[in-house]
Amino acid sequence: MKLKSLCFSLLLMLCGRGMSADFCSYRNTNRLVWDKEFSLRIHQLFGEHQENFFYKGPLYEQVLAGLGGPLDNIISMEETLRFASACRAHSCDEKAAVLIACPDDVLAVGILHFNVDTMAATLTVYSQKATPTIRSAFSRWEEKIAKTGDIEISTEYRRLGPTP
Domain residue ranges in the chain? 2-159
Return the closest-CA partner of residue 94 out of 73, 63, 117. Answer: 63
pLDDT reported for residue 132: 97
Would you list the DSSP string of 79-137?
A: TTEEEEEEEETTEEEEEEEEEEETTTEEEEEEEEEE-TTT--EEEEEEESS--HHHHHH
In contact, 54 and 94? CB cutoff 8 Å = yes
CA distance 71 to 83: 13
Amino acid identity, residue 132?
P
pLDDT reported for residue 150: 86
- Largest separation between any pair of C-alpha atoms in the chain: 45
User: Which residues, listed in sequence order, are joined to residue 111 by a DSSP beta bridge?
Assistant: 96, 124
Q: What is the pLDDT of residues 119-163, one digit of tens each?
A: 899 999 999 999 999 999 999 999 999 998 889 999 999 997 555
User: Which residues, listed in sequence order, are joined to residue 75 by a DSSP beta bridge?
Assistant: 83
Return the closest-CA partner of residue 67 out of 116, 31, 17. Answer: 31
pLDDT reported for residue 161: 59
What is the value of pTM for the model shown? 0.85
Fold of 2-159: Inhibitor of vertebrate lysozyme, Ivy (3.40.1420)
Residues of the chain with pLDDT under 70: 1-20, 161-164
Amino acid identity, residue 155?
T
In contact, 96 and 61? CB cutoff 8 Å = no
Evaluated on CA atoms 79, 130, 88, 23, the torsion sign reads: positive
